[in-house]
Amino acid sequence: MHTFLLMAPSGENGLGSLLDVGMSGAFWTPLIFVLSLPFMWKFVFGPICRALESRELDTRHAAESAKADRAEVERMKTAIQEDLDAARREAAKQVADAKARAADREKELLAAAKDEAERERSRAKAEIDQALGQAREILRREAVELAVGVAEKVIRREFSASDQERLVTDFEQQVSNN
């Protein structure tokens, strides 16, 4: 509707009179436009174009930087995962080593306990054998003394003193040899 008002015939009251510049306007308008175009290009369009190009370049750089950062994050994520896996493997290895050392230590302690028990048994057996030997020796002496005493009594009745001495000496020699 507004376009129809602008196209209305020129008159004093119409809007068309605003656009009526006459024949001189047809010459001066393109000439002014052509003369002002280099200035507009230099001072208006040039800075706008440079700003747009700079903005586009910054956007491209930001996109490339973001892409590189994403790749770096993925690389770091992979490295962290590898480090984590290595740490888990190392921890599992240390646990296995600790278990193996504990089992070895248990075997060593068990073997040491068995050796100690065997030494204690051997020592006790040696003490028992020694005590048994001493008891046998005491019994032998007492038996000899009793035998000599009984033999003296029997011999006094039946043997002479020289026979008695010879028998005692022979008996002592036999006991000493055994």
Confidence of residue 72 (pLDDT cuts 50, 70, 90): very high
Amino acid 14: pLDDT? 56
For the chain, what is the largest distance between any 2 Cα atoms, rounded to a whole number of angstroms?
A: 195
Which range in 24-28, 38-42, 56-60, 161-165 is most confidently predicted, on average pLDDT? 56-60
Confidence of residue 15 (pLDDT cuts 50, 70, 90): low
Amino acid 141: pLDDT? 86
Amino acid 119: pLDDT? 93
Q: Is 65 helix (H, G, I), strand (E, B) or coil?
A: helix
Average pLDDT for residues 52-81, to the nearest whole number?
Answer: 94
Higher pLDDT, 164 or 38: 38
63 token code pair: 């996109």
What CA–CA distance (Å, rounded) separates 144 from 170?
12
Amino acid 82: pLDDT? 95
Amino acid 5: pLDDT? 47
What CA–CA distance (Å, rounded) separates 129 from 123?
10
Amino acid 158: pLDDT? 67
Mean pLDDT of the chain: 83
83 token code pair: 């480090």
Give pLDDT tens digits for 142-170: 888 888 887 777 766 666 677 777 878 88
Average pLDDT for residues 116-137, to the nearest whole number?
Answer: 91
Average pLDDT for residues 47-59, to the nearest whole number?
Answer: 93
Res 95 pLDDT > 60: yes
User: Radius of gyration (Cα) for the chain, nearest Å?
Assistant: 66
